[in-house]
Structure 1
Amino acid sequence: MQTLVICIDRDNDIGEKAGIKTPVIGRENNIEAAVKLATVDPEDSDTNTIFGGIKVLDDLRKRGVDAEIVSLAGDKNVGVISDQNISRQLDELLLEFDVKSSIFISDGAEDETLVPIVQSRVKIDSVQRIVVMQSANLESTYYILKHAFSDPKISQTFFVPIGLAAIIYSLSLLANYPEGAIVGILIAVGIYMLYRGFMLDDKLALFFDQMKSSIHSGKITFITYLSAVLVGIIATVQGVVSVWAYYVEGGIWYYGTLTLFTLFINSSVIWYVLAGLVANTGKVIDRYVNGLPVKKSVSHAFFITSVGSLLWGASMYLLSITLDGEFVITPESGIQYFVYSIILAFILSLIGIKISLDTIRKNRMFE
């Protein structure tokens, strides 16, 4: 095959709405899939993407080019999971067909983020974006905005912060404490922005996908991951309770934001390390049961513990200085704790590096 026309549906509308499993290979199969998707949702732009790909295919064949069309879909959780699904489908397709080059068909910039992934596997001769023409009047603008806000990806980004702010403000008025509304709104919106900014939605979706896979395959990681989540919740509650005790006693202006944040780390870091070790233990056990090498996973435990040691030692020293006379240790003892934590973290890191290097050397010997 000389040229493969690749139509991309990153959020898997073709599967979620029309119930069609991808990859969809061949002109007739793609026409059938597009018609089925258009019947279920006439407004979905992925229908136009497929028909646009069919037009490109027909033009290529008229010029005597040996070409074929395929539609690839990802997952409704757009991000790591959807991109992995498309990568896997493309890899399987390239094993079956000897493709020299490809033409990438999409309906917008979101799908085109997959261009580097496709390009790493097969040469791309052209990228075609299928744009549906709209009349530029007020009614059309309203229609576009209405359906844009109906899209979960847009509505979650736009409406969730406003909804959080409204709920917090209403609760503050009911509690006769409107001054606290500003603090609560800033905290809630800040947490949400960090959640979106660090793309934790993709990571959580990947985590839940792994949990689901663990249930179906009977892996122990389901139990260890669930235990790690519960320990992480305990760690957070432990830190918040410690901070709240000092906040109620003196307030944030007395102790300072840095002191309260350090107190949170000091109270919760051991629990967070324990959560990481519990999750890592399940991964080690599953790899051992499946006959896979476990040394690399074991080395992760040493790095997790070394980071926890550093954070705990540093927080002990900082608190002994900022809470001089109120903390359990003196500044002189605090500096000793800090030095000991650095030494312990250094030793644990060396052990982890040694295990990782041994694993790399062994893998190279088998290559």
Structure 2
Amino acid sequence: MQTLVICIDRDNDLGDKANVQGPLIGKEANIEAAVKLALADPEDSDTNTIFGGVKILDELLAKGVDAEIFTLAGDRNIGIISDQKIANQLDMLLKKFPAESVIFVSDGAEDETLLPIVQSRVKIDSVRRIVVMQSANLESTYYIIKHAFNDPKISQTFFVPLGLTALIYAFFLLINYSQGAIIGILAAVGLYMLYRGFSDTVAFYWEKLKDSFHSGRMTFFTYSTAFFLIVVATLAGLMEVWEVYTAEGLWYYGVVPLFTAFIHRTIWIYILAILFADAGKIIDCKQRAEPLGKYLIPVFFVLSVGFLFWGATSYIMSMNPVLGSDIADPRAGLEQFVYSIIFAIILALAGIKASNRPQATAKKSKR
């Protein structure tokens, strides 16, 4: 085949609104899906993208070019998950329909972020952006704002922080603690911004967790346990810092000792959470008779880092006994720090040796 016309529906409006699963292969399947999407949501721009791709296909066929049209659909979780689905669909189609080049059809810049993914697999001859011409009334400011607020992507990003701010402020006014409103608002907005910033990563691991649950894998239990251990460790560390802070105040201890107290209180619980998550992978690999090396090796390095942090924080706290350290003598704290470094080095070397063992075995088998 000479040319493929590829239309992109990155957020899977076809599946969510028209109940049509991608990829769509051929002119008839694409027209039928576009009509269903237009009936479900006449304002969706993906409908025009597909019809635009069909028009390009007809032009190529009229010129005698051997061409076909495909529509690739992603996922409502735009980012890693949707892009992986589109990449997998593209790989599958290129195996069945090897082509010399493609024409990339989209409805805007969001879909065009997938250009590098397509270009890494096949040559792109042209990029067509389908822009819908609207009347002057529809282009008014009121309509644009109203339409934007009806879009879940925009409304969630805009209204959620405002709603959180209003609710938190109202709550603290109700309990006559207006000073706490600033702390609560900053904390809530900060957590929301972190979630939005890591939304792709969160969605990726959430999909993996759901997959492990439906597949009956041990990683579902160990990942859940690791998550709760992280929550418990964070709360325990914050309680420790709050106890020290309320005793004398930040002006007395400074930021570094308080941060040291947090790390010293939580480090082994965080390490245990990581080991729990890794243990689930090891058990699943053993059940599937897969190599365990890539999951056993991190155990050594995680424990090594744990001893380093524990020894360092113990030494710092021994120099400031008012923080509540069990070691009151700085010399004893220094000795413990040195021993922890030595033990961490031994664990790291053991991990390096374990990582080199499969390579040595593979070399022997080649000989």
Q: Establish whether TM, by shorter chain, passes 0.5.
A: yes
Does the aligned pair in 2 maintain the 1:11–1:78 contact within 8 Å?
Answer: yes
Q: Partners of 1:113 and 1:10 in 2: how far apart?
A: 10
Shift of 1:263: 1.9
Structure 1 contact 23–72 (Cα < 8 Å) conserved: yes
In the TM superposition, residue 124 of structure 1 has moved relative to its aligned partner by: 1.3
C-alpha displacement of 1:135:
4.1
Question: Could you tell me which amino acid in structure 1 is paired with residue 252 of structure 2?
Answer: Y
User: For residue 351 of structure 2, what is the aligned residue in structure 1?
Assistant: 352
Q: Paired residue for 1:85?
A: 85
Selected match of 1:238 from 191, 212, 236: 236
SS of equivalent residue, structure 1 residue 68: strand
**Larger deviation, residues 185-194 vs 211-220:** 185-194
Q: Which region of structure 1 is more displaced relative to structure 2, 272-281 or 347-356? A: 347-356
2:359 & 2:4 partners in 1: Cα distance? Answer: 37
1:28-70 CA deviation, whole Å, 9 max, x = no partner? 1000001101110111111111111112211211221111111
- Which residue number corresponds to residue 68 of structure 1? 68
Q: Distance in 2 between matches of 1:361 and 1:53?
A: 53
Q: Would the aligned equivalents of 1:296 and 1:355 in 2 still touch at CA under 8 Å?
A: no
Q: 1:320 to 1:181 in 2, by over 3 A?
A: farther
Q: Structure 2: which amino acid aligns with 1:147?
A: H
Corresponding residue for residue 8 of structure 2:
8
Structure 2 counterpart SS, 1:11: coil
1:170-206 deviation digits (Å, cap 9, x = unpaired): 2221222212222222222223323333x2x222212
Would the alpha carbon gap of residues 256 and 83 (structure 1) be closer, same or farther in structure 2, given more than 3 Å must change?
same
Whole-Å Cα distance in 2 between the matches of residues 112 and 363 of structure 1?
43
Partner AA of 1:291 in structure 2: A
1:101 aligned residue? 101
Q: Which residue of 2 aligns with 1:218?
A: 216
CA gap of 1:355–1:95, structure 2 versus 1, over 3 A, is farther
Matches within 5 A, 1:1-367: 1-135=1-135, 140-197=140-197, 199=198, 201-322=199-320, 326-330=324-328, 331-359=330-358
Identical amino acids, percent of aligned pairs: 59
Amino acid at match of 1:193: M
Moved more, 308-317 or 237-246: 308-317
Q: Secondary structure at the match of 2:312?
A: helix
Please give the alpha-carbon distance, in whole angstroms, between the structure 1 residues aligned to 2:147 and 2:342.
58
Query: Do the aligned partners of 1:296 and 1:359 also contact (CA within 8 Å) in 2?
Result: no
Quote the Cα distance in structure 1 between the aligned partners of 2:12 and 2:38: 14
Change over 3 Å in CA distance of 1:124–1:353 after alignment to 2? farther
Deviations 1:344-364 (A, max 9, x none): 333323333333344456678
**How far 1:326 sits from its partner (Å)?**
4.3
So what's the TM-score if we normalise by structure 1?
0.91
Higher alpha-carbon Rg = 2
Aligned length: 364
SS at match of 1:8: strand
Q: CA RMSD in A?
A: 2.2
Aligned equivalents of 2:251, 2:119: Cα separation in 1: 55
Distance 2:262 2:299 in 1: 23
Q: Aligned partners of 2:107 and 2:361: how far apart in 1?
A: 46
* Superimposed CA distance per residue, residues 134-191 of structure 1 (whole angstroms, 9 cap, x where no aligned partner): 3455863222222223333322322222222222222221222212222222222223
Q: Deviations over 1:252-301 (max 9, x none)?
A: 33333333233222211211111111111111111121121110111122
Gaps in structure 1 of 5+ consecutive residues: none
Distance change in 2, residues 1:362/1:113 (3 Å):
farther
CA, structure 1 residues 10+299, in 2 after alignment: closer, same or farther (shift >3 Å)?
A: same
Partner Cα separation in structure 2 for residue 50 and residue 353 of structure 1: 53
Secondary structure of 1:64 counterpart: coil
In 2, Cα distance between equivalents of 1:194 and 1:323: 35
- The 3-state SS of whatever aligns with 1:7 is strand
TM-score by length of 2: 0.91
Question: Given that residues 261 and 323 in structure 2 are in contact (C-alpha distance below 8 angstroms), is that contact kept between their aligned partners in structure 1?
Answer: no
Tell me, in whole angstroms, the C-alpha distance in 2 between the residues paired with 1:325 and 1:26. Answer: 71
Deviations 1:102-134 (CA, angstroms, capped at 9, x unpaired): 111111222111111111111111222222223
State the alpha-carbon separation in 2 of the partners of residues 130 and 76 from structure 1: 21
